[in-house]
Structure 1
Amino acid sequence: MAIKVVVIDDEPAAIDVMKYYINMTPSLDLLAAFSDSGEAVRYCMQQQEIDLIFCDIEMPLLNGLEIAGHQKGKTAIVFVTAYTHYAVEAFNLNVVDYLVKPVRYERFLQAVNKYKEQNAVSEEDHFFVKTGVKGCLEKINIADIIQVEGAKNYVTIWHGNMKTMTLLNLKDLEARLPGRDFCRVQKSSIVAIKHIVGLKGGVIALSNGQLVPIGPTYKEEVVQLINSRLIN
């Protein structure tokens, strides 16, 4: 499956270079390119199929660092900039790579391959967890997961008609889940987007009957996610 890409840069010539490189790379599919960062952010809020954003940093209205912060890890980002002094701040945002203009195609490919390596785990359709019985493991199909709830060093996984508790860090488990299919709705809870059946008064209803309050930190992101699929 092709990696769906968006380009954001206020310089038309830089956009042309990225378009050329993307068209040369069979594994990439260019969805859109923007010279207006505000327009780009609005598009990204509504489009749930973006895998990777190639983004300039110094731009009018919203700079690349602000755009990366807005994404909150939802979409992978590669910065493409003429400046080196943003590198530390950029990598603190967990971006995939940092390309300095002018960018050679070989260097561009390195960033693409780095993204592929980082996301190879997301292509898995299952994983195993330890149960309370010594020496026993339980298989969890990712497609069956409805909700994951963390409590200290334990997580509880609701999958299908089952509930499994295991000694695991919620952050580590989140890294194994495909970002486009799951959404963190509070500090201790991640839900499968396809199992959200309703939203009322700041509470999400899931297909298994569970009601999960949305945490204040995640409210804007969750509401945007729901609104992006709202038919007026």
Structure 2
Amino acid sequence: MAIKVIVIDDEPAAIDVLKYYIAMTPSLQLLATFSDSREAIQYCMQQEIDLILSDIEMPSLTGMEIAAFSKGKTAIIFTTAYTHYAVDAFNLNVVDYLVKPIRYERFQQAIQKLQEQNNPQDADHFFVKTGMKGHLEKINIADIIQIEGAKNYVTIYHGNVKTLTLLNLKDLESRLACRDFCRIQKSSIVSIKHITGLKGGAVVLSNGNLVPIGPTYKEQVISLINSKLIN
């Protein structure tokens, strides 16, 4: 299951950045955003939430007060422009402390840290049902090159094999470490280590597939590739 997230920040621009990062991270599901922290607390009392991304200095309740209210029941990552709250924040056992402006790579590290805390011995494989009755197929996560979604089906490209199974992308998101996979378009997730190049607005994968980059994900993908570029 995906990690259910809410965002609390009194600055609309900061909320927009986090919404964009969440949309690019397959393991996250955004439930709601709030500029009023009191409204956020009311929402938390009525909904199941896995993670709160919260600013610290806000007009009503501060991020510290939100963390104290949570009492460790909900994971919290602080997103703030100030560094001097860091010691107090970690005394409240928050997952991480992100200082604005937040880079996507740093955001990914925080989510990975949460995943490792939740699944300290996370499996390196899973099984899926195939079209044959009673038949299951083992998928090694390290072998996955691409996952392509179409309604309630996904096609998993792993090694030299292509497996079709009755699932959707959301069903697989929590199985994939966010630092190892990247959403290229709404219906496609690829393994970062299997990206071998960029050609005509598409990424080239190690199996020869060309996957067009969706407009929403273009900045992330180009940034990822440029970070490895030698001029």
TM-score bucket of the superposed structures, by smaller chain: 0.5 to 0.7
> What's the counterpart of residue 51 of structure 2?
96
In the alignment, structure 1 residue 64 sits paired with structure 2 residue 47 = no
> What's the counterpart of residue 108 of structure 2?
none
**1:171 and 1:227 mapped to 2: Cα distance?**
28
| Equivalent residues, number | 171
**1:190 and 1:138 mapped to 2: Cα distance?**
20
In the alignment, structure 1 residue 203 sits paired with structure 2 residue 167 = no
After TM superposition, where is structure 1 displaced by more than 6 Å over at least 4 residues in a row? none
**2:118 and 2:21 mapped to 1: Cα distance?**
17
**1:117 and 1:155 mapped to 2: Cα distance?**
26
**2:53 and 2:205 mapped to 1: Cα distance?**
39
**2:116 and 2:179 mapped to 1: Cα distance?**
17
> What's the counterpart of residue 122 of structure 2?
123
Identity %: 57
Question: What is the SS of the residue equivalent to 1:72?
Answer: helix
RMSD: 3.8
Contact 1:142 1:177 in 2 (8 A): yes
Contact 1:97 1:111 in 2 (8 A): no
In the alignment, structure 1 residue 219 sits paired with structure 2 residue 218 = yes
**2:17 and 2:188 mapped to 1: Cα distance?**
25
In the alignment, structure 1 residue 185 sits paired with structure 2 residue 184 = yes
> What's the counterpart of residue 12 of structure 1?
none
Question: What is the SS of the residue equivalent to 2:128?
Answer: strand
- Tell me which amino acid in the other structure corresponds to 2:208: G
**Aligned CA distance change for structure 1 residues 121 and 186 (closer, same or farther; 3 Å):** farther
Q: TM-score normalized by structure 2?
A: 0.60
Q: How does 1:1-232 map to 2 (within 5 A)?
A: 57-58=9-10, 63-73=13-23, 84-85=37-38, 87=40, 96-97=51-52, 100-102=63-65, 107=72, 109=92, 111-112=94-95, 115-116=114-115, 119-120=118-119, 123-232=122-231
**Per-residue deviation at 1:200?**
1.6
Q: Which runs of 5+ in 1 are unaligned?
A: 1-54, 77-81
Q: TM-score normalized by structure 1?
A: 0.60
Question: What is the SS of the residue equivalent to 2:164?
Answer: strand
* Cα distance per residue 1:67-114 (max 9 Å; x no partner): 3123235578xxxxx9624627x989x87125632555x656554399
Q: Which has the higher contact order (CA 8 A, sep 6+)?
A: 2
